[in-house]
Amino acid sequence: MSTGEAFPAQLSNPSGGRSAPAWSDELDALLAEVRNNTIGLGLIGLYLAGAAVLLAGPGIREPAQNLTLLLLVAVGPLAWSLRHRSFSAAAWLLIGASLALVFAIVAWGGAPAALALLALPVGLTTAAISRTAGLGLGVACSLLLWWAPREWLPADGVLRTVALLGVWGIVGLIWLTLEPLVTAMRWAWSGYESSQAALEQARETQVQLKRALEDLTAANAQLTRLNQLAQAMRRAAEEERRAKEQFVANVSHELRTPLNMIIGFSEMITQSPQTYGQPLPPALLADLKVILRNSQHLSKLIDDVLDLSQIDAGQMALTREQMALGEIIEAAAVAVRPLYASKGLSLEIEVAEDLPPVFCDPTRVREVMLNLLSNAGRFTEKGGVRVRAWQAGEDVVVSVADTGPGIAPADQERLFQPFYQTDGSIRRRYGGTGLGLSISKSFVELHGGKMWVESEPGRGATFFFRLPIAPPTLPSSGVARWINPYVAFEPRGRPPSFRPSPVRPQLLVVEQGNVLQRLLARYVENAEVVAVPSLEAALQRLSQTPARALLVNDLRAGEALERLLASAALPFGTPAIFCALPGLKEAIGALGVADYLVKPISASALLATLDRLERPVRTILIADDEPDALQLFRRMLASSGRGYRVLRAGDGKQAWDLLRHERPDVLLLDLVMPEMDGFQLLAAKSQEPDLRDIPVILISAQDALGHPIASNSLMATRGGGLSAQQLLACINALLGVLAPLPPSQPTGNGDER
């Protein structure tokens, strides 16, 4: 089989002049070995045939015939010696000798059946030379068998036909064998070239990837340094924020305590002057009313500053519900109508009849309306104010238009800034602190809305705010939320070119009330809070739908943790966090107190709280470290006309002694006191069976809603347990929150610069 046809030129030298690869040389050597073996097999057959003819020597008489046969037999060693020098010469010599030998056996040996041996040289030609040469030799043998006279080729028609069938049978068989082999070799070589090209491309890509990896490593190092700097700046900002919040809380406490004295005594003097035993001059009462009015104004200013600080710190929470906006507007209008009537101003309200309920915090929206209506009434001298509310798409829009002096364009840009006023002089005509619009705008934006103003000088001003009607839609909590049965499946033809939006983690909450749910919904962003009634229901849900964490709020958190561990049903890798977080009522009950009053406390609020005790009250013990507070509460109780016996204690230790010896009917207790604070006094009281049932009313300048009594325990577990690394990480995280280290100090070795 020659490489000229069976294997085309591109196979033997595919590179077009370049040296063939090593494996191609091995393939050529293998093919040469196959051809040599083919010639060897032919030689063996030739020698066997020659030996058979020589053994049948009696059929051959003439010496020339014997000499010819011997020469043909001698061709074998000659062809064997030529096969390394010239394969083609050796092959054709062998084939010619084979043909001559076959015809000699038939013509001289008297063996016509030897014509069947013609298939041997034709097969050798097809396999060792080429398929074209084998085809040509088969045609020549066919013509010879068909046209040769009987004198030259003594064989009848049957033998000649059998010989023809053998010749063409071997040609067809070898042809069919070589065709798939050649095709497979072509495919293999084409695949090799493609693999070689892919290998070169992969090497180039690897080089580029290595360079990109080096660049990425450098960028990562730079990013790490920037991240460390950002973390340091974030810690500094966090410390500043905490300092600001602590300052606001301290200032609130310090301001509310003296304000409680001022407002309380002013109310007592103006509302119950007979308590002091003699008529007070009308001028003095008028002055005291001015003091009371300004004190209440100062108290409102403090509340505004606290609201503004909570908004800035991102801690302002909203209590939303479906409310009719018309009712909120009407309630605000009722509160400001006396102001409008005193100035002779009109107030028109136009609310669309088909206005749907709005999902909002009614208290905050009412504050917004009160502020806008109050501002419009203060700045308007003639005419009036018109309020409109209508639906615009998915939102509701409210406008408050007045006929006042209007606002200049330069002032409109800064109108919603805190403490900004259009007339900033000390002798300004209109009052106010400049916080109302800023807080109102923040309240509207907390609802996802927008507030703006449109005005021209001399033509009045119109304030607008927009609120969304419906709450944001939350996906259902089951697996089916990801499936739409009405959309047919379409396979993706290419990868997406955009980043998919992250899936909100799911927090599973188990509690009897809704304290923890409200905290999570208000202060934990990008989380789906799902409430379940019991721990068993939570475990059943976790077996079907995974969640980021299981949160259990139970006053008996330890027992709940034991039940969970005993069930062994917490899925692997799911953390479970247990806490005892009571609500305000639960916290008050846990402390063993009956109620909680926040200063400043009015006489009516104090007396109403005493009435809610539903038990006879004769002797009242007041424990407060502020002498003015003791005097104020004593005046309130004395002016009620109920004949209360009032005991006073300036610290916790004195209150404890009076509590044991006098056994009052009720205790008014301040939490922050020297010697023994309110918490210590409550703990000691709970240990005495005779004193345990005495009701306690807390009186404090600390807002229980703003700073609630939180959980006294925190426990955690994880399905599958915790590794040592995870345990250390949890310990470090808890230490960083519960017992943070102070900032590192200079070592004092003189190295600091």
Q: Fold for 504-584, please state it.
A: Rossmann fold (3.40.50)
Whether 504-584 shares its CATH topology with 591-700 is answered yes
Question: Mean pLDDT lowest for which of 163-172, 197-206, 418-427?
Answer: 418-427
Q: Is the pLDDT of residue 633 over 70?
A: yes
Tell me how far apart the alpha carbons of residues 51 and 676 are, in angstroms, rounded to a whole number. Answer: 132
Q: Compute the average pLDDT of residues 265-283.
A: 79
CA dist 251 and 249 (Å) reads 6
pLDDT digits (tens, 9 = 90+) for 636-672: 888 888 889 999 998 889 999 999 999 999 999 987 7
Q: In 3D, which of 35, 42, 145, 160 has the Cα closest to residue 87?
A: 35
Residue 21's φ and ψ, nearest 5 degrees, are -65, 170
Instruction: Please state the domain extents for the chain.
Output: 9-196, 321-468, 504-584, 591-700
- The structure tokens listed for 382 are 């003639």
Residues 439-482: tens digit of each pLDDT: 888 888 888 899 999 988 888 899 999 999 886 554 555 555 55
Q: How many CB atoms lie within 10 A of CB 163?
A: 26
CATH number of 321-468: 3.30.565.10
The residues, any chain, with a CB within 8 Å of residue 124's CB and separated by 6 or more, are 38, 39, 42, 91, 94, 95, 98
621 confidence band (pLDDT: 50, 70, 90): very high
User: What is the C-alpha separation between 254 and 497, in angstroms, rounded?
Assistant: 58
Model pLDDT, residue 430: 47
What is the CATH T-level fold of the domain 591-700, as seen in this structure?
Rossmann fold (3.40.50)
Mean pLDDT of 696-706: 66
Which whole number is the average pLDDT over 612-633? Answer: 88
Percentage of the residues of the chain whose pLDDT score is greater than 70: 71
* R_g of the chain, CA atoms, integer Å: 53
Check residue 746 and give its pLDDT.
46
**Could you tell me which residue, 475 or 383, shows the higher pLDDT?**
383
Q: Which three-class secondary structure state does DSSP give residue 42?
A: helix
Q: Specify the pTM.
A: 0.39
What's residue 399's pLDDT?
Answer: 94
* 531 vs 17, higher pLDDT: 531
Structure tokens at 526: 């990008």
Per the listing, tokens 């046209």 go with: 147
